[in-house]
Structure 1
Amino acid sequence: MSAKERILAKLRGSLEGTTAVADDYDEALVTVPWRYAPEKRLDRLREVLESVHGETRLTTAADWPALALAALVERGIDELLVSPATAHGQQFAGYLALNGSSLRLKAYDRPVEDWKDELFFHTPASLTGTLGGIAATGSLIVWPTAQEPRLMSLVPPLHIALLKASEVFDNLFEAMHTQGWAGGLPTNALLVSGPSKTADIQQTLAYGAHGPKELLVLILQDA
């Protein structure tokens, strides 16, 4: 018997003769105070996110590539990390080709150990999708995958995130249950509530210390 098996056996044995405590958890505690009228849900998310220096822009599933490119050009950024294996990555690449843009695209297509220096010091921006948003806290749900590893949204100074307006939930409890999180979680499920920020002992607020300095959320309003 391995050490792990011995530990598990002791834990199981310690439960013998005990009675499970009744599950009387009141979900209203984490839902009722944070419910919004459907027409106010998106406004709430934008208000909270922008209050902490996040930037949001309304667009559509067809028009977002133009908005993303304009934001990059405006900042003088000529290179973007985006996954070619995603539908939005393919859409953006197609838009660039159609419009003759010189923006360079790079993919997260190798282990981080093989290009850590390039990723951390020579990748100015990234574009990722999201699993949805949470109105109560102004948060994005970022669900890392093999195509879009978590460092894509955590390392580049500018993170451009795509959010479908139809996937904004009132609160975290609603999001978890509606999307069936109990059926399987990634190694890291991220809740992003603005650009990275920190403050020193003198309460001087600084952005970008532990992640992206800028967060631009493109909200797709198509039904």
Structure 2
Amino acid sequence: MDTMSARARMLGRLRGAHTSPATSVEALDARIDAHFKARRSHAPLALDERIAQFERMLEAAHAQVLRATTSTWAADLAQRLEAAGVRRLLLDTACAEGKALTAALAAAVQTRDYAQPIEQWKAELFDTIDAGFTVARSGLAATGTLVVAPDANAPRTVSLVPPLHVALVYAHTLHADLHAAVAAERWYEGMPTNLVMISGPSKTSDIQQTTAYGAHGPRALWVVVVTDGDDETAAQHGVIR
């Protein structure tokens, strides 16, 4: 075998590939946008259809869904938490949703802010906190995925460490799919340093395909879908199914 000839042929192909016109990022983005827009145009989903699909996908992943209105969700969730035996709840009590839930909780349920470095209260966090409550930035109907942007008051630990994660998402923030969310929320203008996408409780399988929940995070996930008003549909679904 003529190794020099083989080397020359390989280098020639590389030079040819290098000098051929490269597809620009803008052109690639346009092709991707066109693909997803065309796919969604064939089967556009109204808001109620996005909510229903979002719920189906979450329930298929062993999450529980509570659909409620803006005026009922806090009381509905507080009742559910007490009935489930939650006694210590980690949440951001400074945000509007945290304040509403705190006000609705029974006296038996205590709240805890994430107000100090984890090194100073790791034992308390892992041993005594029953549930963590977060507010999702948005959701993806196609996969039943929560998009959560952690911050200093509600870091990723809130959704990761407690055995039960309770997430609230507003129905009007549900997107058809990831591409729709990226475009609508203009992610290209600046991504947060830590964006968490959650599609169910933590689960893993061993070599025998035995599924275990809670090995690497919460073993249970509740999702509260809040509608914009006291409409008839939401009133009919004001319980966890």
* TM-score bucket (shorter structure): 0.7 to 0.9
Report the Cα distance in structure 1 between the residues aligned to 2:67 and 2:112, rounded to whole angstroms. Answer: 26
2:94 alignment partner, SS class: coil
Alignment check: 8 A CA contact 1:31 1:171 kept: no
Which residue is 2:13 aligned to?
none
1:145 aligns with 2:147: no
Give the aligned residue type for 1:58: R
1:108 aligns with 2:114: yes
The Cα of 1:102 is off from its aligned counterpart by 2.5
1:210 alignment partner, SS class: coil
Distance 1:207 1:22, change over 3 A: same
Distance 1:125 1:202, change over 3 A: same
1:71 aligns with 2:77: no
5+ long unaligned stretches in structure 2: 1-18, 230-241
Identity across the alignment (%) = 37
Per mean C-alpha deviation after superposition, the further-off stretch among 61-70 and 189-198 is 61-70
Determine which of 91, 96, 103 is the counterpart of 2:100: 91
Aligned length in residues = 204
Report the Cα distance in structure 2 between the residues aligned to 1:78 and 1:91, rounded to whole angstroms. Answer: 17
1:156 aligns with 2:162: yes
Alignment check: 8 A CA contact 1:81 1:126 kept: yes
Report the Cα distance in structure 1 between the residues aligned to 2:156 and 2:38, rounded to whole angstroms. Answer: 31
TM (norm. structure 1) is 0.85
Determine which of 123, 126, 130 is the counterpart of 1:124: 130
Q: C-alpha deviations, 1:178-205, integer Å up to 9, x for none?
A: 1122222222211100000000001001
1:80 aligns with 2:79: no
Per mean C-alpha deviation after superposition, the further-off stretch among 179-188 and 41-50 is 179-188
* Equivalent residues in 2 for 1:154-193, closer than 5 Å: 154-193=160-199
CA RMSD of aligned residues (A): 1.9
Which residue is 1:45 aligned to?
54
Give the aligned residue type for 1:78: R
TM (norm. structure 2) is 0.79
The Cα of 1:20 is off from its aligned counterpart by 5.8
5+ long unaligned stretches in structure 1: 1-16
1:134 aligns with 2:140: yes
Q: C-alpha deviations, 1:70-105, integer Å up to 9, x for none?
A: 221222111100111211111122223xxx623100
Give the aligned residue type for 1:52: A
